[in-house]
Amino acid sequence: MGIVLPKEALTKLRVGKGDLLYLVDTLEGLTLTPYQQDFEKQLEVAEKVMNKYRNALHELAK
């Protein structure tokens, strides 16, 4: 599927043709965003794992 958005909306979202957008259900209604909703939480988990296994990851990178 696809939708057509005005150029001004694309500029505000900082996206272009072919970029993936997410439709998020919020208390205010539906929100269109270029950011994955749970990405920040995934990044936090990844950072914890990398810190915990820092030495092992360093050895594997060699």
pLDDT of 24 reads: 86
Q: Is residue 36 part of a domain?
A: yes
pLDDT of 14 reads: 92
The pLDDT tens digits for 22-33 are 888 889 999 998
Q: Is residue 1 part of a domain?
A: no
pLDDT of 27 reads: 92
CA 57 to mean position of chain CA atoms: 24
pTM over 0.85: no
In which domain, by residue range, is 20 found? Answer: 7-61
pLDDT of 45 reads: 87
Task: Report residues of the chain scoring pLDDT below 50.
Answer: none
Q: Is residue 2 part of a domain?
A: no
Place of tokens 């950011």: 35
pLDDT of 3 reads: 86
Q: How far is CA 1 from CA 9, 30, 51, in A?
A: 18, 18, 40
Q: Is residue 27 part of a domain?
A: yes
Domain count across the chain: 1
